Every structure is written in C-alpha cells, then in structure tokens.
Amino acid sequence: MEALVAQAIKDTTSLRKTSVSWKADEPVPQSYYAFDLQTSSWNANSPSTHGAPSAKSSEVTSIAVYSWNIDFMLPFDEARMKPALAHLHYLINAKSSPTTAPVVFLQECKPEDLKTIAMTPWVRDHFYLTDIDHTNWATKHYGTTILIDSRLSVVSVFRVHYSKTRMDRDALFVDVLFGSDDKKIRLCNTHLESMAFEPPFRPFQMQVVARYLHEDSLHAGLVAGDFNAIQPFDRTLHVDHHNGLKDAFLELGGEEDTEEGFTWGQQAATKLRDQFGCSRMDKVYFCGRVKLTRFERFGQDVFVDGEEERRAIVELGFEKPWVTDHLGVMAELEAQPLLEKAQI
C-alpha cells in the first residue's frame, strides 16, 4: 500500500493541469451528455436549451441520491468499476419505486472509469452523464462525476473549483426539475480535502457549497460525497459558519461514533484500519423544502472481477478483494409543496 500511496502522490503532481480557463470559487458551466441510439454515441447537450420541463419529470415525486467513492489508488480500474456499477444497478432496481428518480454521485473516478461508465448498457438507456472525459477536472488524474436519471429535466450543470485545495478538489452541481409543479432541486457532488493538514480546507470548501445551495431560486438543495470527516470540526460542518444544512444520517436518528454510521475502515487495508479505525467519512447534507424519507449505507463486500485480480488486491493487504475502501451512502428525499416553509 505504501508504494500505491507514493505513486498516487507522484501522479497527482504530474497530471495536474498547468493552465485552466476558470476562476476558483465561481461557477463554470458545462454540458451534460445523452446517449444517442441511432449514432451509438454520447452527445453533448446544453442545459439552457434542453432543460425545459418534460412529461417524464412530472411523474417523479422523489429523488434517491447514491454517493460512492471508488478508490483511485488501487489497480484494475475496469475490473473494479464494472462490479461497482452492477451493484448500483441492482440497488436502483430493487429499492426504487417507479416515481423515484435515482441520481449517482461518484468520487475518485479516473478517465478510464468514465469510459467504463459510458459503455454500460443500463447507463446508456436511462441516464445522462455530466462527464465523459477529464475536460472539466483540474487534473487528468481523477475527479467527480454524476449520473442523472433521464426522466429529470436538467436546467443547469456547473462546477466550482475550490481556491483552497491541495488536491484539485471541486464541487459539481446539477439543477433538475421534477414533480407536477417543476420544483428546482440543486444537487452537489463533492470530494472534500483529505487528511488533517494545517490549515484545514474542508470548512472553507463546505461554506462554498452551502452558499450555492441556498440561492433563492431553489426549492431545495443537497450535497453528498466523501467529506473526509476525520477531525472534530467535521462533525458540525453542516451548521458551522451559517451553513444551514441538515445531516441526513443524524436527522433519521443516527448517532456519531456508532457502527451504523461508519463508511470507511471496514474495507480498508488491514494496516490502515488498525492505525486509524473506522469513521463516518461519507455524508449527505440537505436544505430546503424536502422531506428525508430514507438513508442507508451500501456497497459492502462488492468484489473485484477476476480471480487473478482478486488475489492481487488481497496481496496488497486487504482481508477481501473489495472494489473500494469506502461504503456508499444513499438518501431519498421527497419535495414538499411550495407553500410549506422550509425547516432548517
């Protein structure tokens, strides 16, 4: 594992883009992609021209957000991403009602992962993609992406690159319309700064996210991802600095420092688990006129494809050949009527 970490640090430096067109902490609009069956290709759509309310979006009464960090440091990208996607497909089919629109947040995607996602049949048939390559990332190494149920009307896609980051982190936002009165919900996928460096950057990063989730035009907002919550201040990021967000796990009765909340450690390399223990790194925060109806973890014991690949993962120091060291988190929310006042 030490060699993998060292190589990841080296790659992060060498693959960082030296020239970018955006200004930090400000929205950078980007296209999203829909699969065209006739041409067998992913075509870029502009939210401004393709974001009008649709008949299908009016059928949707709730959104289920699945957020999962697929470790970029491990080898065998395709052999890990394929079973991860298959597990997500199973969950979406098994647990979502016809009126629930699934949206998938992925962190630590590599460019090779984006290719695997784009080639997956169920993704092509039912989802939009925010990214098919690394164009909108600050590095060619890894980044975030979102899969959006194609029944939802996409009215905006933009990315905010943090000014305070050592690791090329950003926040990816998608505005969607759904329901009979076309409520606009803003969804944000983010991977907050890792480790316990000084000064810490996660508080600043969450302030940036919260600012964009509280805009007046929005019915509600949600942010999820790998928040790397490993220090005491991470427990209250949702309410500190007037962020005005709710923690989905806590809202449904979850308690800090309990097994039910841990999302990292169980599937980490044994040496790292012994050193750091388990923690609730992955979270969902939300605000606005929505009702949280369900919160769950997922992704336990999903294994790499291939016998040789499985042996190699175990030889790296893992008890089992897991596709990633994180469990995922899922939150389902229903939009409340416009006349009901949000309770923050």
CATH number of the domain within which 98 lies: 3.60.10.10
Judge contact between 50 and 57, C-beta under 8 A.
no
With a pLDDT cut of 70, the percent of the chain lying above it is 94
Tell me the average pLDDT across 278-285: 98
- Between 86 and 335, the more confident residue is 86
Domain-embedded: residue 37: no
Q: How far apart are CA 132 and CA 64, in angstroms?
A: 22
Work out the angle at residue 237's Cα, subtended by the Cα atoms of residues 228 and 178, and round it to the nearest 5 degrees. 90
Domain-embedded: residue 142: yes
How many CB atoms are located within 10 Å of the residue 286 CB?
A: 25
Q: In what order do the strands lie in the sheet with 246-247?
A: 27-29, 153-161, 170-178, 183-191, 220-226, 282-288, 246-247
Q: How far apart are CA 114 and CA 136, in angstroms?
A: 13
The answer, yes or no, to whether residue 138 has pLDDT greater than 50, is: yes
Tell me the average pLDDT across 275-297: 97
pLDDT digit string, tens, across residues 118-134: 999 999 999 999 999 99
Domain with 161, as residue range(s), is 2-7+59-335
Domain-embedded: residue 344: no
Domain-embedded: residue 50: no
Whether pTM > 0.85 for this model: the answer is yes
Domain-embedded: residue 14: no
Q: How confident is residue 2, by pLDDT bands cut at 50, 70 and 90?
A: low
Our count of domains for the chain comes to 1
Tell me the pairing of strands 100-109 and 62-69.
parallel
